[in-house]
Amino acid sequence: MSRRAKIACYAVMVVLAVPFVFPTWWMITASLLPANEVLAYPPKLFPNQPQWENYRTAFTDFPLARQYFNSLYIAVLVTLGTMFFSSLAGYAFARIRFRGEKLFALILIGLMVPSEVTIIPLFRVVDDLGLTNTHWPLIIVPIFGAPSVLATFVMRQFFITIPGELEEAGRLDGLSRFGLYRRVALPIAKPALAAVAIFTFLNTWNFFLEPLVYLTDKDMFTLPVALTQYVDVYGGHLWNVQLAAATTTVVPVLIVFIIAQRQFVEGLAQSGLKG
């Protein structure tokens, strides 16, 4: 590719990136503005005097630290649980021959069922078990419910590509079926596990409907629900403080993606989810 062609290609990519970058840039800059300048038109993209106290207010006047911890530990537990059980299920469907293996196509139907359809019966079950206003339904339901179906599909598609000779060598070494999974299949499935980890963490981190339905105590809220509560004593929106809190919620997602981005791309490519 010639120099001019490269320059033109980069120019086009920069122009196409603007609609995606602009909202994030506005969120960050608006979080540093006084409340009366947040909705100014045209928007101020470079604050003259950054109001860093907006971030302090978000943590001191609201239980943001507690809500941040709620979202973080729920996302971590759901991610770890989904990685474990989806890898087990994916390995079983890919490498073990049993009478129910054809049910995998039926399981994939779970991908087409919106969460809004099942939220009412799930709430009835959770309420009957006395688990409302707790974090248990936000942890257990995603790990064993429809959100884990995609993770199982990704892991199955990856495990299908494992050469049979590797398992044969493991059997000759006396490994059991679980030993083959743990010592042969799992170590080489890091790209697929990274892909599962990223989209599971992101999906769980952004849960809104489920916490809104199951939780009533502000101290139990996760961040997506908590971000709707930034109002003053008169009921007016504290836009600058709300945007400061929203900006902090982006940090964990960026950290997870930066750490596992290479494995994430490899995992999607090798599991048949290429765009």
What is the H or E stretch that residue 96 is in?
none
**Where do the domains of the chain lie, and which CATH numbers do they carry?**
31-270 (1.10.3720.10)
Rounded mean pLDDT of 211-215? 92
- What is the reported pLDDT for 273? 47
Per-residue pLDDT reduced to its tens digit, 119-142: 899 999 999 999 999 999 999 999
Q: Residue 237, SS3?
A: strand
Q: Residue 114, SS3?
A: coil
8 Å CB contact between 47 and 71: no
- What pTM value is reported for the model? 0.83
Per-residue pLDDT reduced to its tens digit, 72-119: 999 999 999 999 999 998 898 888 887 766 677 777 777 777 888 888
Rounded mean pLDDT of 257-265? 69
Rounded mean pLDDT of 184-194? 87
Per-residue pLDDT reduced to its tens digit, 4-35: 888 888 888 888 888 888 888 888 888 888 88
Rounded distance, CA 122 to CA 145, Å?
A: 10
Could you write out the DSSP letters of every residue in 15-49? Answer: HHHHHHHHHHHHHHHHTTS-GGGTT-SSPPSS-SS
- What is the reported pLDDT for 171? 84
